């Protein structure tokens, strides 16, 4: 019985190997014919069309020996086509589907600021009513949001550059960057960088980042006896309530960068670009 099983297994492996070799031979034949077709329709130099690029991007993901049969261009060129295709795909996928709330005209904003400055006792309802009488149609909540920008300003503090200079020895920065895969999946890479010597002390990769996973990475990077005093990060939504509580319990104070100001954590951003 055991001899029969071994015999059947060997027969199956032989049949499988035969068909595998046949399929590889057929793909190689197809690749050579495709390149011959390119030369046939070109006069002086090979003219690579969009369909030719799509063909080689696809075949490079399905056939491991594709480089050995490639003649018209270098393998690095095909890899570049794939990266360009991923950028176009990601741009299309992350396109803005719905327009956001339009901002109110500069004239109205200046008028709200002027009313608030000349009438300190006026609140949002009073200013909103005055604007309605002047013919401006907008919501009272909008007026209230703009008033918050004009009033109750905090006293000036030390500049960002001075803060980093004074606390560089006791500050670490964190950041995410993305890496595309061959199948257009996106991997998220998390790094922890020590500001004093700009050294990456920890990194990890995941396909589905969460606040819990991110907090655990920070724990592994900063043991209790070596935790920094300040943690520099941006306003990404991944740093949710769970992450913030975990950081607080570690005795680390979070320092958030201003919106749309990647230069405020330039060391971390620069190192992620080097990794890319």
Q: What pLDDT is recorded for position 19?
A: 47
Give a three-class secondary structure readout of 13-42. Answer: HHHHHHHHHHHHHHHHHHHHHHHHHHHHCC
**pLDDT at 25 > cutoff 50:** yes
CATH code of 160-275, in short, is 3.30.420.10
CA–CA dist 78, 274 (Å, integer): 22
Strand spans (E) along the chain: 171-180, 186-194, 199-206, 230-233, 253-256
pLDDT in tens, 131-185: 888 888 888 888 888 887 766 555 556 666 776 677 777 888 899 988 888 788 8
**pLDDT at 212 > cutoff 70:** yes
Q: What pLDDT is recorded for position 118?
A: 84
Confidence label for 271 from pLDDT (cuts 50, 70 and 90): low
- Phi, psi at residue 256, to the nearest 5°? -95, 140
pLDDT in tens, 89-127: 878 877 766 555 667 788 888 888 888 888 888 888 888
CA dist 68 → 25, 32, 40, 127 (Å) = 13, 11, 21, 74
Q: What pLDDT is recorded for position 214?
A: 93
Q: What pLDDT is recorded for position 17?
A: 47
Query: What is the pLDDT averaged over residues 234-241?
Result: 88
Q: What pLDDT is recorded for position 204?
A: 93
Question: Whole-number mean pLDDT of the chain?
Answer: 77
Domain ranges in the chain? 2-93, 106-150, 160-275
Q: What pLDDT is recorded for position 16?
A: 44
> What crossing angle do the helices spanning 2-40 and 50-62 adopt, rounded to 10°?
160
**pLDDT at 88 > cutoff 60:** yes
């Amino acid at each position: 019985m055991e001899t029969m099983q071994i015999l059947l297994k060997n027969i199956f492996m032989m049949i499988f190997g035969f068909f595998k070799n046949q399929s590889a031979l057929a793909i190689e034949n197809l690749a050579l014919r495709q390149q011959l077709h390119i030369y046939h329709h070109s006069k002086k130099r090979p003219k690579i069309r969009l369909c030719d690029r799509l063909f080689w991007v696809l075949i490079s993901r399905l056939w491991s020996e594709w480089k050995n049969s490639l003649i018209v261009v270098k393998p690095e060129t095909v890899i570049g086509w794939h990266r360009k295709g991923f950028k176009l795909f990601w741009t299309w996928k992350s396109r803005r589907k719905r327009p956001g709330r339009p901002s109110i005209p500069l004239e109205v904003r200046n008028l709200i600021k002027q009313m608030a400055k000349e009438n300190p006792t006026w609140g949002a309802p009073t200013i909103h009513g005055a604007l309605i009488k002047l013919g401006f149609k907008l919501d009272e909540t909008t007026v209230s949001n703009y008033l918050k920008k004009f009033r109750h300003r905090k006293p000036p503090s030390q500049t960002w550059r001075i803060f980093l200079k004074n606390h560089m020895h006791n500050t670490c920065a964190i950041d995410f960057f993305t890496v595309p895969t061959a199948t257009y999946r996106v991997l998220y890479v998390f790094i922890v960088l020590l500001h004093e010597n700009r050294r990456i002390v920890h990194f990890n990769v995941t396909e589905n980042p969460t606040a819990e996973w991110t907090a655990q990475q920070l724990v592994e990077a900063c043991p209790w006896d070596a935790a920094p005093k300040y943690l520099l990060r941006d306003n990404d939504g991944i740093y949710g309530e769970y992450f913030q509580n975990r950081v607080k319990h570690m005795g680390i104070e979070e320092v958030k960068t201003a919106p749309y100001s990647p230069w405020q954590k330039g060391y971390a951003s620069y190192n992620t670009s080097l990794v890319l």
